[in-house]
Amino acid sequence: MNRKLFTLAPIAAVLILAGCNSSSSSDGKDDLLQPIVQSKVHDILNVDGYQFRDANGDGKLAPYEDWRLTSAERAADLVSRMTLEEKVGMMLIDTLNAEAYGYVGSEHQNLVNRQMMNRFIFRNTILTQDEINALTDEERQDGGAGGPMGANYKISPMEAAQYMNSMQELTERTRLGIPALFKSNARNHIDPNAKAGINVDSGAFSSWPKEGGLAATGDMALIGEFGNIMRAEWNAIGLRGMYGYMADLATEPRWYRVHETFTEDADLASEIMTSLVGNLQGKDVSSDSIVLTMKHFPGGGPQFLGADPHYIAGQHQSYPAGNFDYHVKPFIAAIDAGVAAMMPYYGIVGGGEWSINNPDRTDLDAGGIPLGDLLHERVKDTVRVPNNDYSTSVGTPAGNVGVAFSKGILDGLLRKELGFKGVINSDTGIINDQNEVHTDYEMMHNNRAWGLQDKDKTEQFVIAIEAGTDVFSGFKSNAEIRTVVEQGLVSEARIDESVKRLLEVQFDLGLFENAYVDADKANAIVGNANFQEKAQLAQRKAVVLLENTDATLPLPTTSSLYTMGMDGEIAKEYGYDVTIGDDAEGNKVEVATGNDYALIRVRVDNIPAVITGDTPTNRALVFGGSDFDELSVLDFTGMAKSESWVITPSLEDIQAVMGEVGAENTVLSVYFRQPYVLDDISGLKGAGAILATFGSDDRAVMDVISGEFKPTGKLPFALANSAQAILDQHSDAPGYKEGDELYPFGHGLNYK
């Protein structure tokens, strides 16, 4: 039979309903539900009245091809047939984006055929077909500068589905026909500041509030619908796994990844994790599941001084309030719900108790210079308080290693104590060549094997595998892991344990029977009107009314309204006489005087990173966040004076408008990507009304402003009342010390 690679038409697709077929049993008691079986490479096998995919193409039904067996039985059989090289390929996962127009290329063939990989991270931006059609060929063939995660070509949902079908056909042609599993970070949220390697803006997908916004709705039924809708959209393009969600708690306001967490409250987070696992994946993984990799075990929220462990300067976690178990609680909920995989973070849990001004043996080097040289004087006496209950004997001092290398945390706590039986997936980039002596400002470092920087890759692999890590994210060199087995440093039996766990997920997903999707339906499913209607409801329910002095809101639609930081044309649709006060760059260009009210949407970002080599003056960080010496600067007055924070519109312009129209007639809508501080000096607290948003578009805000939708949202985390409160809070404790809160967790007003 003449077959061409990447054909669109299947050789065979079979669906036989239960009751319309029978097994080999004569009494009919063993009647089974025939799954859809589809192959683009080999003929379908017919055995005992059932159909099976001939994965290895030998014309015989092998146990691993027999869907009537359990996933564990199938995995055991397949592992017995695999070479060491094929087994190691299962333990690799790395970014593999589609090329322009959704095509595959030489790198795709290399990773499948030479590195024996079948797990990939998908990071392409997906736009609607209309948006794609509006691009020129030159724009379509521009994948950007590449960045830390490779080129990112813009494609449509249909092209994404075609790409994944092509990849499934490529893997189907391998010796054993092991299908591909694509994973992605979150991509169903409005995110004006998405970062490569962290998350993706919603694009063509239904546009929901950020994670904190979903928590702010307090509507578990709606969060459940979010999970079901996301599952349908991801399935439509063949995207079957997620690096998420983050069960980390937002207890450290300085940590720039707060915007990916749901809440500071462990109970609420646990309830949300249970819902997401149930609605996205299911208690048992099935053919319509999106398998979740919950992160970052055992909780990445309590980062010491708020510095993120993507950076050398952010290696340590701290538990001054003794709340280690509090941060583990949402992960326990996810395990109980049946989550398929866990991702440990980079940070060090354990080691010694120290401060910058009173160090112990812990290496405080941050890329060739002392960590203290990067931090502000006001935080250098802050004591790092470790958790030593699950320390490992590996490293100097004992326990001073990242979680992915900690046998005490992964094998002892996660597997033995909590009973987790699924896959342990490292975070991206824990292992690579040794880091050169450069600061985080100068480069993205090769590896994040914190506490093991003096070890070579072979040593790091041995430690991580023996600790319990099953699959290495951001790694695609088969030979380097294979070598540790060939040298007798890790047993092949230990590799088999990981491979069986990984294969069981793919069997449970039904990928061995049918890994293909109907690309022609993808555009109609992804982001359809019904899905987006639910997302827009969530955007409105996520808006939190913090202040409403003298019932400023809702604004009478007969009012004249001055706008900044938003699309003023949308405000006009609500009947207001609108003066648009800013230009495309966010600069104030009109005077607000004479208007009844002003509405200002406020956004805070950090300066974008442009890594241009060994440039000591470069003060931007590739994964996001502020300068390390400005991590504690979360008050608006301080951010306005800083080097690495950008307020849009500027605080000066906001204050000018408040002076022109009157503070009491000003409505502020602030996007709280982190728990920013409305400090007294800024004057922002004097606004007539203040809204907190977490990923709501202009129409959602205008519905609340006009009274078409009455606010119901509640704060997912507390807000501090001063800059000093940020310094005084405990990294692992929710809320702030007595007298330091402006608004507590759960605060939210409504219209009377």
Q: Give the start-to-end residue ranges of the domains of the chain.
A: 34-69, 74-353+399-525, 533-743
Q: The pTM is what?
A: 0.94
CATH classification for the domain delimited by 533-743, as one of 2.60.40.420, 3.40.50.1700, 3.60.90.10, 3.40.190.10: 3.40.50.1700
pLDDT band of residue 10 (cuts 50, 70, 90) is: very low
Report pLDDT for 442: 79
Single-letter residue type at 702: M
List, as one string, the DSSP characters of 550-607.
GG-PSPPTTSEEEEESS-HHHHHTTT-EEEE-B-TTS-B-S--TT-SEEEEEEEEEEP
Report pLDDT for 439: 84
Range 169-202 burial, b when 16+ CB lie within 10 A, else e: bbbbbbebbbbbbbbbbbbbbbbebbbbbbbbbb
Report pLDDT for 25: 38
CA angle 245/189/644 to nearest 5° reads 90
Average pLDDT value over all residues in the chain: 91
Say whether pLDDT at 241 is over 50.
yes
Percentage of the chain beyond pLDDT 90 is 82
Tell me the β-bridge partners of 602: 670
Average pLDDT over residues 74-78: 98
pLDDT digits (tens, 9 = 90+) for 536-550: 999 999 999 999 999
Average pLDDT over residues 389-418: 85
For residues 578 and 557, give the distance between their C-alpha atoms in angstroms, rounded to a whole number: 11
H helices of 142-265, where? 157-172, 211-217, 220-237
pLDDT digits (tens, 9 = 90+) for 553-610: 999 999 999 999 999 999 999 999 999 999 998 999 999 999 999 999 999 999 876 5
Identify the three-state secondary structure at position 696. Answer: coil
pLDDT band of residue 623 (cuts 50, 70, 90) is: confident
pLDDT digits (tens, 9 = 90+) for 369-401: 888 999 999 999 999 999 888 877 766 566 788
Phi, psi of 362 (to 5 degrees): -60, 135
CATH 3.20.20.300 fits 74-353+399-525, yes or no: yes
| Higher local confidence (pLDDT), 18 or 613 | 613
pLDDT digits (tens, 9 = 90+) for 642-693: 999 999 999 999 999 999 999 999 999 999 999 999 999 999 999 999 999 9
pLDDT band of residue 620 (cuts 50, 70, 90) is: confident
Report pLDDT for 4: 29
Report pLDDT for 150: 74
The highest-confidence range among 6-15, 430-439, 725-734, by mean pLDDT, is 725-734
- Which of 270, 258, 260 has the alpha carbon at shortest distance from 328? 270
Identify the three-state secondary structure at position 120. Answer: strand
pLDDT band of residue 615 (cuts 50, 70, 90) is: very low
Say whether pLDDT at 213 is over 80.
yes
Average pLDDT over residues 602-627: 73
Tell me the β-bridge partners of 648: 603
pLDDT digits (tens, 9 = 90+) for 426-464: 999 898 888 888 888 877 787 899 988 888 999 999 999
Question: Is 74-353+399-525's fold the same as 533-743's?
Answer: no
Report pLDDT for 445: 81
Report pLDDT for 22: 32
Phi, psi of 725 (to 5 degrees): -60, -30
Report pLDDT for 9: 36
CA angle 595/600/603 to nearest 5° reads 165
pLDDT digits (tens, 9 = 90+) for 327-361: 999 999 999 999 999 999 999 998 788 999 998 77
Percentage of the chain beyond pLDDT 70 is 92
Say whether pLDDT at 26 is over 60.
no
> For residue 435, what is the DSSP state?
P
| Higher local confidence (pLDDT), 668 or 191 | 668
